[in-house]
């Protein structure tokens, strides 16, 4: 379980997050929505411990983030916007990057090939270099890396950005299936309403650094704050 309590963050005179509260229970899937510049990435960076909040706290399974960095870093997977693969490493080493720190390379490669199969990529993909992949394949490799170590929590940062609608739909389906199968907690930042409808159980709408609405995905269409957001953004 991840709890965020009263999180505030400023950059100079600019207040970016003003008292965010959110709870994500084990196995739950939360999508964080909001217009550009509203603080979604800053919130994500705070939850990952990459940014220190000015006030408020973040608890992982009841313990403050930072108390046990090792446990925290071992416990999550992340699909970065744009996949963020290491260009100089073949696909399988990108997937097995974390695993190779604690097991022999041959074993890590076997797990990487299994995870590539899970995201619909054949074993032949394992020895390709990132430059040889299409955008959709790179996203799948990023997804295989995110699940390589069977994480308790998976963060998805704009998972469909840069993909055409068909590939975006396939990635949304894969994320949905993987989250269901593994029982992982999922936190997704997105602009894509198809992602929200496919992947989320709960939705949190950020506006000007505060929570404008939070609720079950099924209640989203009846919420005036959501209608206003969708109307403004044309989504
Ligand atoms: N390191 C930083 N220093 C100064 N200002 C920052 C920093 N990081 C973010 N900001 C500011 O915080 C605000 C929120 O940024 P953030 O990247 O979280 O927005 P976002 O909601 O993720 O937007 P987008 O959807 O476009 O990615 C922006 O005004 C941004 O300029």
Q: Where are the domains of the chain?
A: 29-38+70-233
**Angle at alpha carbon of residue 197, lines to 233 and 153, rounded to 5°:** 105
- Contact, 17 vs 9, CB < 8 A? yes
The per-residue pLDDT for 144 is 95
Q: How many Å is the maximal CA-CA distance in the chain?
A: 54
Cβ atoms 4, 56 nearer than 8 A: yes
- pLDDT, position 93: 97
Q: Which among 209, 202, 198, 148 is positioned nearest to 175, based on CA atoms?
A: 198
- Say whether 40 sits in a helix, a strand or coil: helix
Q: What is the pLDDT of residue 84?
A: 83
Predicted local distance difference test score (pLDDT) of residue 65: 77
pLDDT for res 105: 95
Output the residue whose Cα is nearest ligand 1's atom 6. 11
Task: Verify whether ligand 1 is closer than 6 Å to residue 52 (CB atom).
Answer: no
CB of 41 within 6 A of ligand 1: the answer is yes
Give the DSSP letter string of 164-185: -HHHHHHHHHHHHHHHHHH--E
- Residue 209 Cβ < 6 Å to ligand 1: no
CATH of 29-38+70-233, one of 3.40.50.300, 3.40.50.2300, 3.30.230.10, 3.90.380.10: 3.40.50.300
Mean pLDDT by 10 residues, the chain (235 residues): 94 94 94 92 88 91 75 78 88 94 95 95 96 92 94 92 89 92 93 92 94 95 91 70
Residue whose CB lies within 8 A of the most ligand 1 atoms, among 10, 15, 42, for a mutation test: 42
What residues contact 200, with CB distance under 8 A and at least 6 apart? 29, 30, 31, 188, 217
pLDDT at 107: 96
pTM for this entry: 0.90
Would you list the DSSP string of 42-98? HHHHHHTTSS--SEEEEEETTEETTTTHHHHHHTEEEE-TT----TTS-HHHHHHTT
What is the Cα–Cα distance from 180 to 184, expressed in whole angstroms?
8
pLDDT of residue 21: 95
């Amino acid at each position: 379980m991840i709890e965020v309590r009263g999180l505030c963050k400023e950059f100079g005179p600019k207040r970016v997050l003003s008292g965010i509260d959110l709870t994500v229970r084990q196995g739950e899937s939360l999508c964080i929505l909001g217009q550009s510049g509203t603080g979604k990435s800053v919130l994500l960076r705070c939850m990952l411990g990459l940014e220190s909040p000015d006030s408020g706290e973040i608890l992982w399974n009841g313990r403050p983030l930072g108390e046990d960095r090792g446990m925290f870093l071992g416990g999550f997977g992340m699909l970065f916007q744009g996949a963020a693969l290491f260009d100089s490493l073949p696909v399988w080493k990108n997937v097995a990057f974390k695993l190779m720190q604690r097991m022999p390379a041959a074993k890590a490669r076997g797990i990487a090939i299994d995870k590539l199969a899970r995201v619909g990529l054949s074993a032949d993909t394992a020895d390709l270099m990132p430059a040889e992949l299409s955008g959709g394949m790179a996203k799948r490799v990023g997804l295989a890396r995110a699940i390589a170590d069977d994480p308790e929590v998976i963060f998805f940062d704009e998972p469909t950005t840069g993909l055409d609608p068909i590939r975006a739909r396939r990635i949304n389906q894969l994320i949905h299936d993987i989250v269901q199968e593994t029982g992982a907690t999922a936190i997704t930042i997105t602009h894509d309403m198809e992602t929200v409808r496919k992947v989320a159980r709960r939705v949190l709408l950020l506006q000007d650094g505060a929570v404008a609405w939070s609720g079950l995905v099924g209640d989203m269409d009846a919420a005036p704050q959501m209608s206003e957001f969708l109307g403004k953004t044309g989504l």
